[in-house]
Amino acid sequence: MCGIGLGVVGVAACAYLSRRRRPSDAESTRFPRPPPPQSPSATRRKRGPSWTRRHSALVLSAALCFLALSTALRAWQFTPTPPIDEAAQVARACGCASFACLRSAFATPSSYFKVPHFWIGGGQKCGTTTLYATLARHPQIMAPEPKEPGYFAWPAPARLAAERWYVRDALRLGDACDRGLGKVATFDGTAYYLQWGGPVARALKASAPWAKIVLVFREPVARAMSWLQHMAMKYPAIPSCLHHRPMDCCVQQSWFLSGVHHLGGSKYYKHLKDWIDAGWRVDDDIHVVRFEQMIESPRGFRDAYRAILDFLGLDPGPAANMTRDDTQPANRRSVVPYNVSRRAYEAMVDEVRQDAANLEELLGVDFGWHRYWARQLAQCDRDRLCRVPLLPPPLSVRTL
């Protein structure tokens, strides 16, 4: 306040001094003041001091103006902001049942976790179930119920009708508030949000722009084939190509090559680009994990898990205490390799090869898939049949 007061005084002084000016030419013409006759030498003697006084006044005026403006600027820059009442913000957020209410409650920076804090995905059969179970055991994380609410994939009218259910029940806002929003983070475990592209990306951005995203990417061909087998084995009552035909026949069908939940869902660059276009930023908002790193060894899983916790701003301590059992993949229904012809396998690789190259260029990450495909095709030529493993071993020890 003192700085602002000095600035006001300085500006007032500038205004006062600027009014004490010499008459303009027009005023001198209208009101002439004839000088008294005097000798040229006397005129020269009197003009000297007058000229000095005028310039001294101008210099003083400029100095005061500069002092006033600089003082006012410093006062404006360093005026302390009023303290944020986080307790009131938390109380308001805990009473919310809509995203509009949550956005209003979370409008200012705070030290607590916003709801939802993050989302995990990438695609079905990318290890998201294993990651979900691991995250759910973290003391700072509260898992959603159910694991995959699928809320943001619904049409807008359905989301509006179910908004209270999603915020209060699926994300468990009440339970999180009971434990303290500064202590626990909530998340959504719907794996397929990425494949639904722009509509889901924009809906999530509009509802919870603060959310972090963790994506797990698996080798595209194995992921799609694994999903096809998963559905056939887990839901025998639902018609499936594998109920009547071998894998080699099913993977050559157009619905498999382009389907959003089959091989089309493995075009990660295409889908990720939709999210980037919706305003999500790689590294700042999105963290990418290699599925192969998660399964190659307990150490690889721990390293991937620790990187995720660092990205989410959570305590990385639990990653160091993981056992071998904690790092085993979930939902492993079969370890029998997929047997397909070379023609079928090569067609699948050709379908996703360019998308995988674009993904590596975008992220600056070498997933190693092109090397795996080359080795797999060499095995196909050697044995005249492609035996695609369900969970391939690390590239460093892989022999096909």
- Structure confidence by residue, pLDDT tens digits, 123-166: 899 999 999 999 999 999 999 999 999 999 999 999 999 999 99
Contact 135, 122 (CB under 8 A): no
Confirm whether 267 is a catalytic residue: no
CATH number 3.40.50.300 given to 88-235+269-334 = yes
The length of the chain is 400
Residue 322: the pLDDT is 76
Residue 61: the pLDDT is 66
Asked if the model's pLDDT at residue 298 lies above 80, the reply is: yes
Residue 318: the pLDDT is 86
Contact 227, 129 (CB under 8 A): no
Tokens of 8: 């006001």
**Residue 299 annotated in ligand binding:** no
pLDDT digits (tens, 9 = 90+) for 207-259: 999 999 999 999 999 999 999 998 998 899 999 999 999 999 999 999 999 99
Q: Identify which of 275, 312, 266 has the alpha carbon closest to the alpha carbon of residue 125.
A: 266
Asked if the model's pLDDT at residue 202 lies above 70, the reply is: yes
Q: Identify which of 212, 226, 224, 229 has the alpha carbon closest to the alpha carbon of residue 267.
A: 224
**Residue 104 annotated in ligand binding:** no
On the question of a cis peptide bond just before residue 199, with omega within 30 degrees of 0, the verdict is no
Residue 198: the pLDDT is 94
For the chain, report the end-to-end CA distance as a whole number of angstroms.
76
- Mean pLDDT confidence for 176-181: 93
**What band does 38 get if pLDDT is binned at 50, 70 and 90?**
low
CA distance 256 to 265: 10
Angstrom CA distances, 50 to 40, 64, 86, 343, stand at: 16, 21, 64, 102
Residue 303: the pLDDT is 93
Residue 360: the pLDDT is 98
The answer to which of 59-73, 169-183, 371-385 has the lowest mean pLDDT is 59-73
On the question of a cis peptide bond just before residue 393, with omega within 30 degrees of 0, the verdict is no
CA 266, distance to chain mean position in Å, is 21
The whole-chain average pLDDT of the chain stands at 83
Dihedral sign, CA of 326, 328, 329, 331? Answer: negative
pLDDT digits (tens, 9 = 90+) for 300-319: 999 999 999 999 999 998 88
Instruction: Give the bridge partners for 339, in sequence order.
Output: 387
- Mean pLDDT confidence for 178-197: 94
Residue 17: the pLDDT is 46
- Mean pLDDT confidence for 290-300: 89
Instruction: Give the bridge partners for 290, in sequence order.
Output: 217
Count Cβ atoms within 10 A of the Cβ of residue 77 and give its class: 0-12 exposed, 13-18 middle, 19 or more buried.
exposed
pLDDT above 90 as % of the chain: 62
**What band does 266 get if pLDDT is binned at 50, 70 and 90?**
very high
Residue 396: the pLDDT is 42
More confidently predicted of 353 and 332: 353
Catalytic residue, candidates 125, 183, 267, 273? 125
CA distance 120 to 217: 11
Residue 394: the pLDDT is 45
The answer to which of 79-83, 204-208, 361-365 has the lowest mean pLDDT is 79-83
CA distance 156 to 99: 13
Domain map of the chain by residue range?
88-235+269-334
The answer to which of 103-112, 152-161, 325-334 has the lowest mean pLDDT is 325-334
